[in-house]
Copies of this chain bind each other. A is one copy, B any other.
Amino acid sequence: MPASKSPVPASRSRVPAGREVDWLLFNIDWLVTCDAEMTRFASGAVAIEGDSLAAVGPSCELLNLFRGRVEADLRGYLLMPGLVNTHTHAAMSIFRGVADDMPLKTWLEEIIFPLENAFINPDSVYLGTLLSAVEMLKSGTTSFCDGYFFEESAARAALNAGIRGIMGQGVLDFPAPDLPDSSKFQSRAEAFLSNFPGDCGRVRPSLFCHAPYTCAPRTLTRIKELCRSHKILFQTHLSETAGEVEEIMNRYGRRPAMLLDSLGVLDELTLCAHGIWLSHDEIHSIARSGASISHCPESAMKLGSGVAPVPEMISLGVKVGLGTDGCASNNDLDLFSEIDFAAKVHKVFKNDPLACPAEQALRMATLGGASVLGLENEIGSIEPGKKADLIALSLNQPHLTPIYDPVSHIVYAARGSDVRFVWVDGQQIVKDGRVLSVDETEVISEATRMGLEIRRKIR
């Protein structure tokens, strides 16, 4: 398998000519663009200029038109857009597997909330987010949409790791690790937005109202107003369990999505995580409003919460992306596995092998995911002018052999561990399976140390 050696630098058999670009990736066995037509090229190529894609097409064409400052022969590889994880709580990786096989309420109230009170601070959020960023990058996720506390620290971790991030500062009407007095939620949110680290390019702010059952209508509307005035994404959990729907019905006399709609909170920059227990009318309201859903099948399955009506949502025009949820309830951040679960769970749930076909599942993790974040013109597919967020999977492996349709393999056979090279904004961030931006070994050691400290506390 000579192609599994580092593809940088590589030579081609002719004298390079044409326009100079930063990177020319050529001889790609399968280039799966994930554009609207799910165009695939056998023997494809891409040219990268700065942070963007200058050209995409057959290898033979691009080799005539471009020469790269760096050229990479990707024979034996599949190239596709970096995956988009539309819902996670990245810092919770420090609690990975701390408790499983419990109802959501018990798990949250008896395990997670006490642990968060004891261990969540700016340092642990930085470390946990960095650990998750490394895990995501290595497994092919180049963009993630986060929601947690001390989100400034999470943003710094994303900046340093080189991953693309939408960083949602958590808001709720209960004391939080970063806001003991919850009445000050608005000034906390404003401070987060004014002090947001970085230039709001690759890493951008967002606000995340925990849920309609933990945030009063006034909290929801004020935070949404703040998001509107800053033109940023508003996030909330929505109808994850049947119990919370009942609670909202008892409190407000209407179902949760109807409540959000009546508050004017649903629009094209509102992302609702889960959306499992939605009525037909609620799905219609969400579709009409332009709001979108982050579908997190593994977490919902593990917590026994239910199966979101994704085929119905999509057929009614709701934008749906995929998410891993926090990896304390999954328990990893491998979006390839999430695609596989999504494609399979709807088939068995509806007793219909035609439900959620491979292309639909893949779309939720690429262009669909980009679209729920409002980034469909920047990422989610390999098209000229878009950001060069790319991942290369090694095909010379038994579980990916033989190959009839690359999309089938991406959905049903590939895993995050097949990813060998990753580019974000045209920068190579993973090379030969190793993250270049941070010291992976050091991150793992520090997270291991923190895990031992947490373990001492809970035993």
Contacts and interface: CB of A to CB of B under 8 A. Distances in A.
A300 interface: yes
A398 interface: yes
Contacts of A405: 97, 100
Interface string A387-404: 000000000111101111
A100 B412 contact: yes
Interface in A295-311: 298, 300-307
A448 interface: yes
Contacts of A100: 357-358, 405, 408, 411-412
B138 A101 contact: no
Given A97-B404, A303-B353, A408-B100, A298 B344 contact: yes
Contacts of A69: none
Contacts of A250: none
A345 interface: yes
Interface in A360-402: 396-399, 401-402
A262 interface: no
Contact of A341 (B94, B344, B401): B344
Interface stretch (A147-155, A181-189, A325-333): A325-333
A98 interface: yes
User: Interface of chain A, helix or strand or loop or mixed?
Assistant: helix
Interface stretch (A33-41, A78-86, A436-444): A436-444
Contact of A357 (B97, B101, B307, B408): B101
Interface stretch (A8-16, A227-235, A282-290, A451-459): A451-459
B347 A303 contact: yes
A179 interface: no
Contacts of A398: 93, 131-132, 134-135, 138, 440, 443-444, 447
Given A303-B353, A353-B304, A96 B333 contact: no
A305 B413 contact: no
A21 interface: no
B348 A402 contact: no
A343 interface: yes
A22 to B, nearest CB: 28
A259 interface: no
A351 to B, nearest CB: 5
B334 A415 contact: yes
Interface residues of A, number: 79
A304 B409 contact: no
A455 B440 CA distance: 41
Interface string A62-82: 000000000000000000000
B444 A401 contact: yes
A103 interface: yes
A83 to B, nearest CB: 15
A354 B102 contact: yes
A411 B354 CA distance: 28
B304 A97 contact: no
B331 A412 contact: yes
A49 interface: no
14 contacts: A96-B401, A100-B405, A101-B353, A101-B358, A135-B399, A302-B343, A306-B348, A306-B351, A334-B415, A398-B443, A401-B448, A402-B450, A403-B448, A415-B415
Given A327-B413, A397-B444, 4 more contacts: A97-B413, A306-B351, A402-B447, A402-B450
Interface of A: 1, 93-94, 96-98, 100-104, 107, 131-132, 134-135, 138-139, 242, 298, 300-307, 327, 330-334, 337, 340-341, 343-345, 347-348, 350-355, 357-358, 396-399, 401-405, 408-409, 411-413, 415-418, 440-441, 443-444, 447-448, 450-452, 454-455
